[in-house]
Structure 1
Amino acid sequence: MNSKATSPFWVPIYAFLATILIGGMLLKLDICHPGKELSFLDAIFTATSAVCVTGLAVVDTGTFFSRTGQSVILFLIQLGGLGIMTYASLVIYLLGKKVSASDRIAVSQTLIHDPSFNIGKFIVGVVTAVLSIEALGALLLNRMDPDGFYPFSAVFHSISAFCNAGFSLYSDSLTTWKNHLGINTVFMALIIMGGLGFYVMTELWHKFMNFVRRRKGEISAHTLSWHTRIVLETSLFLIVVGGLAIFFAESFKVHVVEGAVVNEIAALFQSVTCRTAGFNTVDISGLTNISLLVMIGLMLIGGSPGSCAGGLKTTTFRTWVGFIISKVKGHSQVKVGWYALTEESVNRALTLLTIASVILGSAIIMLSITEGSHLPHSEVRGHFIEITFEAISAFATVGLSTGVTPDLSGPGKSIIIALMFVGRLGPVWLLTAINSWQKEPRYRLPEDDLPLG
């Protein structure tokens, strides 16, 4: 096979495609939904949503699928949450075989963007920690409500929460527990930990253990790395500001829709779950347009690099904010926290924003064509924001919906599948994979300035 086709940047793409195809074929089997028909497109849609840890569903997971079908979905969520390359390299490592350089590059790019780390120790540690956190989450959910979260349900929802998948066995997601502080707290903790990134979690754990064991005496002023501080500060800012924005946007609502009443807990939960878990404790279709716009912004930003979450990532958001501030102030460097970013990092962030804008813009236009282009505007008012919400939810692998997912046409479902796939891999990763097939020109063109603005 051509070496370009086996580039480490293409291996995760092949792995995700193969897993989705196998998962779709398994979900198509009658044992996964005895006596019920599931089209191949809907099976692929569900498998893609699970592997890409999105949570959008064309059928109700809890009532349509049997325990076997739900177990298949759960397995796909766990695979997709940590990434196929993580498990592939883990198996190689446990078998005692040497991990190839291409695997090292692929996994390091996926997890922590650092090719120098010890892949074996890191992956074993990550998988062990993740399984332990999910087990603890399941135990807490079961203890708080043994009926609602019986053993399988507790495990299913704990894994779905940590992997930021948003799949639920209940048709109304978590609205039953809207006012249950304990269960809300467990879900938010699992979602946040799953969205921080494995490198950040590893560093926090090491710092905590060092503090407990008092090995290093006094803790220095800067106990955390620059990357970890940026991730934690940005995540906290988005959660708090997002929760306040949603709460106030809903507090002035005149006509309150049943199931869409937003109190302080629900507002905070929705702010957390928008990045990018997909659970909901209120009816999304009953929220105001302002709340939906706030949620669209939170979904686009998403979680942090090397995590289970999707979106453009918190670091991209901070880079973009820093870039805008630097231009307004007339500074030549983009400052984020303690340091100024390299030109390569800034260009990468701006490229990601540009590509994401093109992908989402094209998808929204295509969905507008497939899902109502034959109807006049007077009959589809409000449909555009629903389509936009759906597209961004898919691309950011969130899984929240205003309720249009089951009613999508065949072409519409195909567009959402593509968005989930590209969003999970990351548009920059996909562009890098395509660029790996290209050759840099061996010549330079003359340069000149072009008037702008």
Structure 2
Amino acid sequence: MLIMGFALTIVVGTALLLLDACRAGGELSLVDALFTATSAVCVTGLAVVDTGSFFSSTGHVVLLGLIQLGGLGIMTYSSMVFLLWRQRVSLSDRLAVRQTLLHDPSFNMATFLRQVVLACLLLELLGAACLYLFDSESFPPFSALFHAVSAFCNAGFSLQGDSLVAWKDHAGINLTFMALIILGGLGFAVLLELAERIGRIRLRDRASLPARLSWHSRIVLTTSFMLIAGGALAIYLAEFSLHQGQFSHAEEFLASVFQSVTCRTAGFNTMNIGGLTNISLLVMMGLMFVGGSPGSCAGGVKTTTFRALLAFCLARLRGRRQSVVARRFALDEASMNDALTLIMFGMVIIGVAALVLSITEVGAVPHNQTRGLFLELLFECVSAFATVGLSTGVTPNLTVTGKLVITVLMFIGRLGPIVFISLLHDLQRTERFMWPEKRLPMG
């Protein structure tokens, strides 16, 4: 049902974008319309045409609706509508929403979904108000709302031709976008826990306040901070350490941090991605592959998966049998298997897509005539799978087959990890015997 819901929304979005009323001028092919609709519903942000100038106001409204639907999830909206109509929500809908948003079997669905929708709309409206106040000429009411929804849903669609390059030194605009991107990528469960905690502090209801955040929330917050700080430092060293004097310290700091934050599947940029060093592109691919956190608008294999892999590696280096996270609990075998399987699944999908693009875009052209193109195509594949939307500029120049490959990759990246893990659990069975073990030399 989750796949059918997203697929149907993409089909409807494609049909709407093909209408003359949605275009300001020029023709839009069926493949380009499908690509754009998929990018919007899967909150990716990759574009084959300039969103601001090619589409009309009606087209912008259609894209805004597709982004909002994709960000919060088709199953979330359908279940919310049923609840408002006071109809019974099916068990399959409950399981789908639980698996997508919370990963926790104990919660009240009606209350949770109302809180999710209200919290998201409130944050988006607050972000739009900030953008309008900071620059009302560049961000009139609709533009401010469009960019706020795109940022919170981690979509990356912008009505500006160069994304946010014009505001690379505007602290207010940068901080607003970064706040929306980070909040949209933390996960609804973490947001609600933080909101509840802040509300109790403001009401001075400390008696019922837990001493610490939940284990899951602490892992998400600490891992997110670690990735953002580490990515910003790496990008700063790669881009600005050898160019002292060309940029102010404030511009260097904002640009480095913003690029690190936007790699969390947001897709906005304040620097020309195609002009970055190979070091920065490699670092950004790593950040994009990890993505945001479970139950959020972000894509990627998720921060908890990365933290599990890190704990697994440290445990093996120290000779531990268990993978301990946050010095408190060890991951169970099922969680560890999910993390390792999901990482392998993502790497295989990206590798196959990069191979196919190498065939469709390069073919039999010798390597010495296509230097640098493979890195750009690999960057495009990682960006599509992680539903980020950052590009070095090759998206509009892809062949029809290449665009279809990226379209499928965006769809798989948005739904693949959830469906893959669910299918894996359904196919797995507990064996009631042990195989004889034998050591195999390694290294």
TM superposition score category, shorter chain reference: over 0.9
Counterpart residue number, 1:320 = 309
| Cross-structure match for 2:281 | 292
Aligned to 1:342: 332
For the 8 Å contact 1:262–1:282, the answer to whether it is kept is no
In 1, the alpha carbon distance for the partners of 2:24 and 2:252 equals 40
The Cα shift of 1:448 comes to 4.3
Partner of residue 362, structure 1:
352
Whichever residue aligns with residue 370 of structure 1, its letter is: T
| Alignment partners' CA distance in 1, 2:269 and 2:371 | 24
Inter-partner Cα distance in structure 2 for 1:433 and 1:293: 31
User: Larger deviation: 341-350 or 98-107?
Assistant: 98-107
Matched with 1:19 is 9
Moved over 6 A (4+): 254-258, 441-445
Aligned pairs (5 A) from 1:212-227: 212-217=202-207, 222-227=211-216
CA contact (8 A) 1:250 1:262 kept: no
> Offset of 1:35 from its aligned partner?
4.0
1:218 deviation in Å?
A: 8.8
- 2:278 equivalent to 1:271: no
Deviation at residue 450 of structure 1 after TM alignment: 6.3
How far apart in 2 are the matches of 1:198 and 1:40? 35
Change (3 A) 1:200 1:17: same
Distance 1:332 1:69, change over 3 A: same
**Unpaired runs of at least 5, structure 1:** 1-10
SS in 2 for 1:96: coil
Residue 41 of structure 2 corresponds to 51
1:250 aligns with 2:239: yes
Deviations along 1:400-448, one digit per CA (max 9) or x if unpaired, are 0000000001111111111111111133523534774x58599868554
Match status 1:104 vs 2:84: no
Counterpart-to-counterpart distance in 2, 1:419 and 1:137: 30
- Contact persistence 2:154–2:185 (CA under 8 A): yes
Taking the aligned partners of 2:350 and 2:244, their CA distance within structure 1 comes to: 32
Match status 1:150 vs 2:140: yes
Counterpart of 2:381 in structure 1 is: 391
- Of 116, 120, 123, 2:110 maps to 120
Distance of 1:317 and 1:88 partners within structure 2:
31
Correspondence 1:230 to 2:219: yes
Which stretch of structure 1 is more off in the superposition, 237-246 or 394-403?
Answer: 237-246
| Aligned-residue offset at 1:85 | 0.6
Structure 2 CA distance, aligned partners of 1:432 and 1:268?
Answer: 35
The residue type equivalent to 2:16 in the other structure is L
Count how many residue pairs are aligned between Structure 1 and Structure 2: 439
- Asked if structure 2 preserves the Cα contact closer than 8 Å seen for 1:257 and 1:286, the reply is no
Pick aligned residue for 2:73 from 43, 59, 83:
83
Instruction: Report how far residue 340 of structure 1 moved.
Output: 0.5
Q: Deviations over 1:103-146 (max 9, x none)?
A: 11110000011132111110011001100110111011011101
Q: RMSD across aligned C-alpha pairs, in angstroms?
A: 2.1
What TM-score do you get using the length of structure 1 for normalisation? 0.93
CA-CA distance at 1:195 after TM superposition: 0.3
Deviations 1:11-67 (A, max 9, x none): 111101111111111111111115421111110100000000000000000010001
Where does residue 393 of structure 2 map in the other structure?
403
Q: CA deviation at 1:233?
A: 0.5
Counterpart in the other structure of 2:180: 190
Please report the TM-score for the alignment, with normalisation by the length of structure 2: 0.95
Aligned residue in 1 for 2:403: 413
Quickly say closer, same or farther: Cα 1:107–1:63, change in 2 above 3 A.
Answer: same
Structure 2: tracts of 5 or more residues without a match: none
Counterpart of 2:286, as a letter, is G
Identity %: 55
Mean CA deviation greater in 374-383 or 44-53: 374-383
Q: Deviations over 1:318-349 (max 9, x none)?
A: 00000000001110000001210101000010
Matched residue, 1:6: none
Is the contact between residue 169 and residue 251 of structure 2 (CA under 8 Å) also seen in structure 1? no
> Which amino acid in structure 1 is aligned with residue 417 of structure 2?
P
Given the alignment, which residue of 154, 170, 191 partners 1:180? 170
Residue equivalent to 1:241: 230
Q: Does 1:375 align with 2:343?
A: no
The question of whether the paired residues in 2 share the 8 Å contact of 1:207 and 1:223 is answered with: no
* Aligned 8 A contact 2:168 2:251 in 1: no
Partner deviation per Cα, 1:52-102 (whole Å, 9 max, x = no partner): 000000000001000111111110000000111100100000000111111
Q: Secondary structure at the match of 1:171?
A: coil
User: Aligned match of 2:196 in 206, 230, 242?
Assistant: 206
